[in-house]
Structure 1
Amino acid sequence: MGKDKARVWLVAAMMGGMVAVSPAMAQQEPAADGSAHDRVEEIIVTASPIGAKRFDILQGTSSLSGESLDRALSTTLGEALDRLPGLSQSGFGAGASRPVIRGQGGDRIRILSGGIGSIDASSTSPDHAPALDLATAKRVEVVRGPATLLYGNNAVGGVINVLDGRIPIAEPKDGVDGFARIGMGSNANERSLASGIDARLDSPFVLHLDGFYRQTDDYKVPGYLESRILHEAEEAEHGHAHEEDEEAKGTVPNSDLRQKGATAGLSYIGDWGFFGVSASRLDSNYGISAGHTHEDEEGEAHEEEGPVRIDLGQTRLDLMGEVNQPFAIFETTRVRFGWADYKHTELEGGETGTRFLNKGWEGRVELVQKAMGNLSGAVGVQASGRDFQAIGDEAFVPASDTEQMGVFTLQRLDLAPFALEGGVRLERQNIQANGVGFDRDFTTVSLSAGASRQLGDGWMTGISLSRTERAPNAEELLSDGAHLATSTYERGDPTLGKETGLGVEATLKKSGGPVTGSVNLFLTDYDKYIYERITGAEEDGLPVAQFAATDARFWGVEVEAETVLVRNDQATLTLDGGMDYVRATDRDNEVPLPRIPALSARAGLGLELASVAARVEGVWTAKQKRTAEFELPTDSAMVFNASMDWHPLPERDITLLLELRNLTNEEVRLATSFLKDVLPQPGRDFRVSLRAGF
């Protein structure tokens, strides 16, 4: 208890010092590249087709680019974004970890590549990695909270958009623009390479090429793989713990990975806009770190035969264009289309087990309206198709085809100092599973409305209301089988209906000057919210996880803050911090929902000199004691990180990045993870990378 109190007081003191300097709260993420204070006017394209400034957006948003993105690079998307406010990760080892936003994950978070879905099987299971990587990305944008109006009913929890630059949208300034990066990490002996280039060919064509490679060994953890809490629970129930689990410590077996990818794109760029295409290939082979048992026909428990690995591959084609030629009431037309052939095989002891196949496509057209007085807006249409199959003895969901079609509009009325905005989306979804005689249609309607007021001196306050509808997916409807990745027997419910959420979000922001900031408060009540509930029954020696609908409530708060302590010709010293909290309840049964992140707080200090930028930060996560039935608590953790960027040649774009993650080798377990009690997060990791731009 004394250790936890000391950690709380340490972070509280760091944040308290910042608040003492100024009560304003920061909207942008800290950045050691000297650009943090110039970002308040940045455009978040993911949040609005009419080019909304970040300061004007009523929802919580975050973005990573430049050196901030370089510092975040990790083996999984979830780990890379874990430090952003309101975000956590599903924590399924070094190869697979999806982001979690405000306690919601899976099929409620849309992961996009350039505005189009990742077209993979990552929402099917937490051990399936998203088919994209940040190694060659130019920018990542996050919208926290419902984004259903623009991206469909699968975006009720938020959107993560990786802007990869596969299709050039402008000519490089000097005819050629590119980068090369090499990196290493000590914890898992990580080795990585990445490079990308945009080159002007015979005008008006621009060629894009990029590629990356990453390899790691098994990663190291501070102590035992099995948590203290699970160890004590097993002793209390059985009089002893599992001896093999008790002895496992230090290194996580079968946690190594190999990843590689390459892209080629070509654009035709003119005064009227651009049109381009790209082709890409991604391959990833990674181990599933946790072992699983199952019962044979006689009821005897057996371990799986050999380590389980996932061999993942995706071939993808993309098309994107924008025409700035007015017609009728519209001034800009944007077109986006993607097609992908995704396959992954679960290898058991080197032998082929279950195979997951997913062929899909998605397209959208946005028409941006001409300004009509103070009114601006856009209308659009989006459609997608998914042909999904799971083949093998452990296929827990039947083959299915899913089709979606949606139309939407978003409008904004500026009446300075007030602004009003609203939108509506109508969507149709059909799911067919011919093998089991299943065919259902769903129609969803989502609405939003918001109002904001500029208060002067850079202050803005606002409130937004939303009514969202989400249709169940094929996994929630049709699952029926052992899912060894999560050590459960999953059962869907083919009678599930759509869920409805009524939400409100209030925001207060401050921009400009030495102090910037934001506070976001949110509350959403769900009718017939669908989630996986552990029932207490067993099937094939595994606990039954039943997809069920209940009334639920999510509420929480996010605070960000940054202030300049010192700024002169030689140096800039900044202090930043924040906290986020979410509380989620099954209101029908008055019990907590499972796998909800705990309260977290962070504080950091950044120093910027002419050629060097350094940063230290502390991130504290509280103990998660508010757990669902059959779910164990999670201990608190205090993690310290440090980084330094050095630009040795001022006239050249060369950066040496030194980074130390988890300085004190703290044991970290994620309340959001199925594997939290048998798989801790990596321990201390020293990382170095050299990046050169040209």
Structure 2
Amino acid sequence: MSTVKLAAVAAVMGGLFTAGAALAQAPAELEAPEGGHGRTTLEEVVVTASPLRSTRLDVLQGTSVLAGEALDRALSANIGETLSRLPGISQTGFGQGASRPVIRGLGGDRIRVLVGGIGSIDASTTSPDHAPAIDLATAKRVEVVRGPATLLYGSNAVGGVVNVLDGRIPVEAPANGAAGFVRLGYGSNADERFAAGSVDVAAAPNLVLHVDAFNRQTDDYEAPGFVRSRALRLAEPPEPGEEEPRGRVENSDLEQFGATGGLSVVGDWGFFGFSASRYLTDYGIPGGGHGHEEEEGHDHEEGEEHGHEGVRIDLEQTRVDLMGEVNREFLAFQQAKIRLGWADYEHKELEGEEVGTRFLNDGWEGRLELVQKPVGALTGAVGVQVLQRDFEASGEEAFVPPAKTWQYGAFTVQRLDFGPWSAEAGLRVERQTVKAGDLGFDRDFTPVSVSAGLAYSFGQGWLAGLSLARTERAPNAEELLSDGPHAATGTYEVGDPTLGKERGLGGELTLKKAGGPVTGAANLFYTDYKGFIFEDFTGEEEDGLPVAAFRGADARFWGFELEASVEAWRRDDLGLRLDGAVDYVKATNKDTDQPLPRIPPLSFRVGAELESAAWAVRAEVEWADRQDRAAAFETETKGYTVLNAGIDWHPFPERDITLFLEGRNLTDEEVRLSTSFLKDRLPQPGRDIRLSVKAGF
């Protein structure tokens, strides 16, 4: 990617931010009326970022919030695609059934996906074809913290956090005795049908009952042109008589179901409740995954491949959560927050009717946060977190041996406000143990992470700040112990049991504007890693698959995100808003001065929205540059331009009913993601016309 191109895109976004700053001094009639169409403003409290109830303006990291109609419009079949239009976020792109978010080029076990502040307790970090045991169909809000969140959520959050707040445990009584919503939707590309509903009922004084459920079904999705990329078609032409697949992506269908019941006791002192949920999904692995050559001695002809192209994943999870908050002063504290989650997880990889590989993951996680009483201008919180993971894989592609992981952590965050200045510092000490009894493997790690930040408020909603962090992450069981074919990613994975802690030292500069006709944020980040753990392609083959060995190397990540929203014109209840975002990350292996693999390219989004009290019409363009900074044995990824448009309409002013009509990828552009292991075998969906209705009460 050329410096000229990077500078040009940054200049366009900088111009939008600067123009918006000028509009901030415009007459009051430009200010939008209260309400609107669910836009998220920088003043919102981001509970994920700090136990001190920080707003987006206060947080000295990149943050994003999806809520209200913005979340309704973004909903997709998986969490990765739903979040992928936010700045700094891409996805692993493993079809409709499984896609995790990638934040600033980091994914896997460096990104924690939480439900109400507790991990998803599944096997989704083990492989990109494993779906997170979570769906956003009944979510009320999704919060994203871009950058290190290790102080609060552990060393596995060095890249960021995605926290889904679904209200499964009620925190307050509904105002009119009952509140909820019903959502129905259809997507044309894969004949997607989904339905979801949620309700809270005041069952008795101070007692609130919650119930929610959802169901989604899709057929195979359609992609423009050939399914395999041009580079792969040239390198691996089809056999004589075989047709090159195009259009429909075979074995990409899915079916999902989930249901939750919860009960809370609420009062002026706070709340305490529990919930139980069941999650089921069955989806295909597209792209010809799980096909590798047989080893000698098997009852197959030499070179014959497994007939695994029809592999499916049958996933189920049973989960129980406890959550409570007490807003009463005791000792040196004014508030206590407790979270506890337990889950029994299993998924089977089916080859026809037979189970090829079975993954089990039983685990629990708990955390306690105590918010201190203010002492002058000093506020703060202390907390502890404990988690246990019991992971087991069995079958012909069980590339990781059974292993148990324990993690214990204690942390503190302290904040000092003095005039327009504020300073924040934090410390976390953690202990992690990984044991694999069958191998006699037993290792302990003690990661320590610290952070500090300084911010200055200019008034009129402007804030500038600098944050610094030194983080440590312990290697997980997969990185330490893998040894076997992992056909989902098309690799033979080899772990390194001698890997040490991964250390990062970095900083982030931020400039934010909240309130008025313009809002926005600019974030510039840089991190130097010692012993950065990644899958390095060696050029060798094993079982007919390229060998990917987990190694530790010194690495450097730097990049930026710019986002701005400007109300350019308003007359009465009719207004025009322009918005845009641009993000970029560059990741380099400092030992070899070569790019790291699966890094997203420079990308931007610009949009315009014309809205009134009853309706809103929106159009936006997404653009991604070609990713030509390819790692060894990795192909380049061509860029793309996608056009999206939609309208939402409130037909009855006195009722909370909204109709959504949206067209995604209206130009039917071929989209391949540089962050995906399957980019050459699996394009993203083509044109999709989506219709949905949501009714609240």
State the TM-score, normalized to the length of structure 2. 0.95
In structure 2, C-alpha distance between the alignment counterparts of 1:620 and 1:243, rounded to whole Å: 38
Task: Identify the residue that residue 595 of structure 1 maps to in structure 2.
Answer: 598
Task: Identify the residue that residue 662 of structure 2 maps to in structure 1.
Answer: 659
**1:510 and 2:513 are equivalent in the alignment:** yes
Task: Identify the residue that residue 70 of structure 2 maps to in structure 1.
Answer: 68
Shift of 1:275: 0.5
In structure 2, C-alpha distance between the alignment counterparts of 1:354 and 1:649, rounded to whole Å: 52
In structure 1, C-alpha distance between the alignment counterparts of 2:61 and 2:22, rounded to whole Å: 18
**1:497-536 paired onto structure 2 within 5 Å:** 497-536=500-539
User: For 2:292, what is the secondary structure of its paired residue?
Assistant: strand
Task: Identify the residue that residue 262 of structure 1 maps to in structure 2.
Answer: 259
**1:205 and 2:216 are equivalent in the alignment:** no
Task: Identify the residue that residue 397 of structure 1 maps to in structure 2.
Answer: 400
In structure 1, C-alpha distance between the alignment counterparts of 2:415 and 2:103, rounded to whole Å: 26
CA contact (8 A) 1:279 1:318 kept: yes
Task: Indicate which of 78, 81, 86 corresponds to 2:80.
Answer: 78
In structure 1, C-alpha distance between the alignment counterparts of 2:42 and 2:589, rounded to whole Å: 38
* Counterpart amino acid of residue 615 in structure 1: R
Evaluate the alpha carbon distance shift between residue 504 and residue 392 of structure 1 in structure 2; reply closer, same or farther with a 3 A threshold.
same
Shift of 1:305: 4.2
* Counterpart amino acid of residue 107 in structure 1: D
**1:144-543 paired onto structure 2 within 5 Å:** 144-234=146-236, 247-291=244-288, 292-298=290-296, 299-305=302-308, 307-543=310-546
Deviations 1:542-599 (A, max 9, x none): 1000000000000001000111111221301000111000000000011100000010
CA contact (8 A) 2:33 2:573 kept: no
CA contact (8 A) 2:168 2:262 kept: yes
Shift of 1:350: 2.2
Evaluate the alpha carbon distance shift between residue 535 and residue 8 of structure 1 in structure 2; reply closer, same or farther with a 3 A threshold.
closer
In structure 2, C-alpha distance between the alignment counterparts of 1:154 and 1:546, rounded to whole Å: 20
Shift of 1:56: 1.0
Task: Identify the residue that residue 576 of structure 2 maps to in structure 1.
Answer: 573
In structure 1, C-alpha distance between the alignment counterparts of 2:42 and 2:562, rounded to whole Å: 16
**1:5-20 paired onto structure 2 within 5 Å:** 18=16
CA contact (8 A) 1:156 1:468 kept: yes
**1:614 and 2:654 are equivalent in the alignment:** no
Deviations 1:512-531 (A, max 9, x none): 22111111000000000000
State the TM-score, normalized to the length of structure 1. 0.95
Deviations 1:2-57 (A, max 9, x none): xx9xx99998998587457335899xxx9997256772321000000010011111
In structure 2, C-alpha distance between the alignment counterparts of 1:379 and 1:21, rounded to whole Å: 42
Evaluate the alpha carbon distance shift between residue 63 and residue 32 of structure 1 in structure 2; reply closer, same or farther with a 3 A threshold.
farther
* Counterpart amino acid of residue 534 in structure 1: F
**1:22 and 2:20 are equivalent in the alignment:** yes
Task: Identify the residue that residue 39 of structure 1 maps to in structure 2.
Answer: 41
Stretches (4+) displaced over 4 A: 7-17, 23-26, 30-33, 35-38, 240-246
**1:135-146 paired onto structure 2 within 5 Å:** 135-146=137-148
In structure 1, C-alpha distance between the alignment counterparts of 2:514 and 2:230, rounded to whole Å: 45
User: For 1:294, what is the secondary structure of its paired residue?
Assistant: coil
In structure 1, C-alpha distance between the alignment counterparts of 2:36 and 2:242, rounded to whole Å: 47
CA contact (8 A) 2:63 2:145 kept: yes
CA contact (8 A) 1:224 1:246 kept: no
Evaluate the alpha carbon distance shift between residue 310 and residue 650 of structure 1 in structure 2; reply closer, same or farther with a 3 A threshold.
same
Evaluate the alpha carbon distance shift between residue 8 and residue 372 of structure 1 in structure 2; reply closer, same or farther with a 3 A threshold.
closer
CA contact (8 A) 2:150 2:471 kept: yes
Shift of 1:295: 2.1
* Counterpart amino acid of residue 288 in structure 1: I
Evaluate the alpha carbon distance shift between residue 16 and residue 111 of structure 1 in structure 2; reply closer, same or farther with a 3 A threshold.
closer
* Counterpart amino acid of residue 65 in structure 1: A
Task: Identify the residue that residue 53 of structure 1 maps to in structure 2.
Answer: 55
* Counterpart amino acid of residue 432 in structure 1: K
Task: Identify the residue that residue 562 of structure 2 maps to in structure 1.
Answer: 559
* Counterpart amino acid of residue 455 in structure 2: S
In structure 2, C-alpha distance between the alignment counterparts of 1:40 and 1:635, rounded to whole Å: 34
In structure 1, C-alpha distance between the alignment counterparts of 2:343 and 2:623, rounded to whole Å: 40
Q: Which region of structure 1 is more displaced relative to structure 2, 345-354 or 467-476?
A: 345-354
CA contact (8 A) 1:11 1:603 kept: no
Task: Identify the residue that residue 106 of structure 1 maps to in structure 2.
Answer: 108
Evaluate the alpha carbon distance shift between residue 248 and residue 11 of structure 1 in structure 2; reply closer, same or farther with a 3 A threshold.
farther
In structure 1, C-alpha distance between the alignment counterparts of 2:347 and 2:77, rounded to whole Å: 18
Task: Identify the residue that residue 29 of structure 2 maps to in structure 1.
Answer: none
In structure 2, C-alpha distance between the alignment counterparts of 1:32 and 1:382, rounded to whole Å: 39
Deviations 1:632-667 (A, max 9, x none): 000110001111110000000000011100010000
* Counterpart amino acid of residue 142 in structure 1: V
Identity %: 62
In structure 1, C-alpha distance between the alignment counterparts of 2:478 and 2:20, rounded to whole Å: 49
In structure 2, C-alpha distance between the alignment counterparts of 1:17 and 1:153, rounded to whole Å: 38
In structure 2, C-alpha distance between the alignment counterparts of 1:381 and 1:570, rounded to whole Å: 49
User: For 1:222, what is the secondary structure of its paired residue?
Assistant: strand
* Counterpart amino acid of residue 282 in structure 1: Y
* Counterpart amino acid of residue 221 in structure 1: A
**1:583 and 2:586 are equivalent in the alignment:** yes
In structure 1, C-alpha distance between the alignment counterparts of 2:410 and 2:242, rounded to whole Å: 52
In structure 1, C-alpha distance between the alignment counterparts of 2:474 and 2:225, rounded to whole Å: 43
Evaluate the alpha carbon distance shift between residue 495 and residue 32 of structure 1 in structure 2; reply closer, same or farther with a 3 A threshold.
farther
User: For 2:479, what is the secondary structure of its paired residue?
Assistant: helix
In structure 1, C-alpha distance between the alignment counterparts of 2:93 and 2:33, rounded to whole Å: 25
User: For 1:78, what is the secondary structure of its paired residue?
Assistant: helix
User: For 2:148, what is the secondary structure of its paired residue?
Assistant: coil
In structure 1, C-alpha distance between the alignment counterparts of 2:425 and 2:403, rounded to whole Å: 35
Deviations 1:349-392 (A, max 9, x none): 22111000000000000000011110001000000000000011
User: For 1:43, what is the secondary structure of its paired residue?
Assistant: coil
Evaluate the alpha carbon distance shift between residue 550 and residue 38 of structure 1 in structure 2; reply closer, same or farther with a 3 A threshold.
closer
Shift of 1:294: 1.9
In structure 2, C-alpha distance between the alignment counterparts of 1:296 and 1:358, rounded to whole Å: 28
Task: Identify the residue that residue 115 of structure 1 maps to in structure 2.
Answer: 117
Q: Which region of structure 1 is more displaced relative to structure 2, 64-73 or 146-155?
A: 64-73
CA contact (8 A) 1:33 1:67 kept: no
Q: Which region of structure 1 is more displaced relative to structure 2, 292-301 or 654-663?
A: 292-301
In structure 2, C-alpha distance between the alignment counterparts of 1:13 and 1:624, rounded to whole Å: 20
CA contact (8 A) 1:620 1:636 kept: yes
CA contact (8 A) 1:33 1:613 kept: no
User: For 2:446, what is the secondary structure of its paired residue?
Assistant: strand
Shift of 1:296: 2.1
In structure 2, C-alpha distance between the alignment counterparts of 1:266 and 1:506, rounded to whole Å: 43
In structure 2, C-alpha distance between the alignment counterparts of 1:354 and 1:518, rounded to whole Å: 46
